[in-house]
Chains A and B, each alone.
Chain A
Amino acid sequence: MKSPATARPAVPGTTVFVPADAGSLSLGAEAVCRAISAQACARGLEVRLVRNGSRGAYWLEPLVEVVSAQGRIGYGPVSAADVPGLFDAGWLGGGAHALRVGDVEALPWFASQQRLTFERVGRVDPLSVSDYVDHGGYQGLRRALAMSPQSVVEAVTGSGLRGRGGAAFPTGIKWKTVLDQQAGQKYVTCNADEGDSGTFSDRMLMEGDPFSLIEGMTIAAIATGATQGYIYLRAEYPHAHRILAGAIAGAYEARYLGADVMGSGKRFDLEVRVGAGAYICGEETSMLESLEGRRGEVRVRPPLPAVKGLFGRPTIVNNVITLSTVPAILRHGADFYAGYGTGKSRGTLPIQLAGNIKRGGLVERAFGLTLRELLYEYGGGSASGRPLRAVQIGGPLGAYVPASQFDTLVDYEALAGIGAMLGHGGIVAFDDSVDMARMARYAMEFCAIESCGKCTPCRIGSTRGVEIVDRILEGEDPQRQVLKLEELCEVMVQGSLCGLGGMAPFPVQSALRHFREDFLARVSR
């Protein structure tokens, strides 16, 4: 692989990377970029600015990297006000400065990661097709085009890749079902409705390396005979939308999309459709309803989307990370990917550390790490400096895990073993100031806000749940209310039509199980 330091040297001057993903921009990266231009201009220095994605080290963002003789030297977190001082310190030559973190890829936080899906994120210009190709892009599709559709599907199956959106269904099996359907219109859809709090890997990927998603979807299409793809993107991600639109246009121009993909004579068209702020549309059948322009209510399965999906046709529905991992599998082979991981959790997982955490960000590692390693070695413990008390894994429907269980492995089976779930790999940390009864209330409130109203346990149950927790918070006979709450949770789990009402009680039940004192020790007013 070419070093990013040598990428595109056509324009003279020092290459400076300033991230332009929504997260870095939210911390002032745009002003930093303007300040660098202005200072360089005032000092008569030539600087070539590249807007990369984020490396995922958000505590260092905006993390500016200067390409010098010593490599790609990072400085962060940089504010616009720091920029004149950085020039004074000779940062274009890698000069010493309080913000200098050195070669980012040599930082233990980064060097110990195993970035397969996120290989290029933060290293390349996300809108440059040639940068993508220079960094191994489109080798997977090239291979796939030379293989039979069956062999492509077998490679994905053999890699052990499971759906990274949360359901963890084996990707290759889904694809095989679509491949086995009769020829005719088939679709590849990407679920980019990343609504779980604590997750941002889809956003980072789409904003940092959108071509890997486009390539993954194209491989899925080639493997199953689909000709049309849709990316269902949440409305809360306007910046990702802009970058995806630019990348798709670039892929069409370079003929990686359209009527003749890479000269193969095969067609694949791709467009982005924007959601409208409904959490349930992250569930695959409601996403399909929404794509068809309807209320995002879940469909009854069977039929599976792979048999009867979008507009009644066989449809692949995969998450952003799942699809973006496929190019690496095709490029390096199924065995290479399956060589990472543990048990039935093969490959790597992009884990997102969020909430009250010192070093929040993205860690991609093979399955097999413990929560403790993630929270303390990568995350550095709480941001507040207080002890961590609990983490919520897998979004608003995920269980709370107490500190006593931090030695659990972060993989599908181990988490299921303690009544938790991995979901999309987001971990939200809470310190000891958290009131778990309030978090239980929020879980019910969120369910009430997002309930589609179709079934009673979810629609009414969530509202009753909020009321019960409110009485507990008021100290109104908490013993009795807790029993009622447990009963209500059971009804919702057993009686709801879909995962929203059926899983919203999980955080409540886990809070009751591990933090009962927060419910019972309320002082009556």
Chain B
Amino acid sequence: MQMLSSAQSETVRRILTDHKDRPGPLLEVLHAIQKALGHVPAEALALVAEELNLSRAEVHGVVTFYHHFRSSPPGKHVVQVCRAESCQAAGGEALAAHARARLGVDFHQRTSDGKFSLDPVYCLGNCACSPAVMIDGRLHGRVTPERFDALLAEADSEACP
């Protein structure tokens, strides 16, 4: 197992100090780690378990229960395509197929140049404007394949989100 870098370790410790006295802190801690490091490294879990007085199994169980937490770093841009019913009713499956082909990866994968992660999502709450896509936390509605390409190009031309 790889070790955390000292900077990463420092970050995790700071997050734990900030949150550990709050009620039910584990999810908040994991969110903060993912926000700071881009993912929740497996190597951080021992530290989290120790500081929160939990077993490593408990922490592992929580991290793996929730789809939102990543165990490896995402691409520079995170592309989430909604796969749920409302988007399916409005061309979402064709859009999902286009997204896979355009990025050359399947869902849950990262492009080889590290630029994009492609994730499925089950409802973004934009169902009156289906199909919906979220890129780096920004929501887009009525997304056609053409618009999808334009949004990718736009994200690509920006610096890190």
Contacts and interface: CB of A to CB of B under 8 A. Distances in A.
Interface of A: 22-23, 25-27, 56, 58-59, 61, 194-200, 202-203, 235-239, 273-279, 290-296, 311, 352-357, 360-362, 383, 392, 396, 426, 428-431, 434, 439, 442, 446, 449-450, 452
A383 B137 CA distance: 27
B90 interface: yes
Contacts of B140: 26
Contact of A26 (B30, B58, B69, B141): B141
B103 interface: no
B46 interface: no
B135 to A, nearest CB: 11
Contact of B89 (A200, A239, A355): A355
Contact of A354 (B31, B67, B130, B137): B130
B129 to A, nearest CB: 5
9 contacts: A59-B128, A61-B129, A194-B123, A235-B68, A236-B121, A277-B66, A277-B121, A354-B89, A428-B86
A293 B25 contact: yes
A25 B23 CA distance: 34
Interface in B15-33: 23-28, 30-31
Interface string B79-115: 0000011111110000000000000000000000000
Given A197-B85, A355-B86, A428-B89, A22 B139 contact: yes
Nearest to B66: A276
A496 to B, nearest CB: 18
A26 B89 contact: no
Contact of B65 (A26, A236, A295, A383): A295
A274 B26 CA distance: 11
A435 to B, nearest CB: 10
Given A293-B62, A296-B66, A352 B84 contact: no
B123 A428 contact: no
B56 to A, nearest CB: 14
A517 B85 CA distance: 21
Contact of A194 (B27, B62, B125, B132): B125
A389 to B, nearest CB: 10
B122 A311 contact: no
Nearest to A278: B66
B89 A195 contact: no
A198 B89 CA distance: 10
B16 to A, nearest CB: 13
A354 B88 contact: no
B148 to A, nearest CB: 13
Contacts of A239: 139
B122 A195 contact: yes
B124 A236 contact: yes
A442 B85 contact: yes
A26 B66 contact: no
A396 B84 contact: yes
The 4 A-B residue pairs whose C-beta atoms are closest, nearest first, are A360-B128, A293-B26, A354-B127, A355-B89
A12 to B, nearest CB: 33
B128 A353 contact: yes
A303 to B, nearest CB: 18
Nearest to B142: A27
B130 A274 contact: no
Nearest to A362: B128
Given A277-B66, A428-B89, A360 B125 contact: no
Contacts of B62: 293-295
A275 B134 CA distance: 17
B127 A360 contact: yes
Given A23-B129, A353-B128, A428-B127, A446 B122 contact: yes
B66 A428 contact: no
Contact of A237 (B65, B89, B125): B125
A452 to B, nearest CB: 7
A383 B130 CA distance: 11
Chain A CB within 10 A, most for which of B26, B58, B126: B126
Given A273-B27, A274-B31, A197 B84 contact: yes
Contacts of B126: 22-23, 26, 200
A241 to B, nearest CB: 10
A61 B126 CA distance: 12
A430 B88 CA distance: 9
B85 A428 contact: yes
Nearest to B80: A236
B86 A354 contact: yes
Contact of A198 (B25, B26, B127): B127
Contact of A356 (B31, B68, B90, B122): B90
Nearest to A357: B128
Contacts of A196: 123
A296 B84 contact: no
Chain B CB within 10 A, most for which of A25, A238, A239, A277: A277
B24 A197 contact: no
B28 A293 contact: yes
B90 A383 contact: yes
B65 A442 contact: no
Chain A CB within 10 A, most for which of B24, B123, B128, B139: B128
A236 B86 CA distance: 16
Contacts of A237: 125
Contacts of B129: 23, 26-27, 58, 61, 360
B82 to A, nearest CB: 8
Contacts of A446: 84, 122
B32 to A, nearest CB: 10
Contacts of B23: 292, 311
Contacts of A194: 123, 125
A386 to B, nearest CB: 11
A290 B130 contact: no
Contacts of A428: 85-86, 89, 127
Contacts of B61: 295
A107 to B, nearest CB: 16
A425 B99 CA distance: 30
Contacts of B139: 22-23, 25-26, 239
Nearest to A202: B125
Given A22-B125, A23-B129, A278 B67 contact: yes
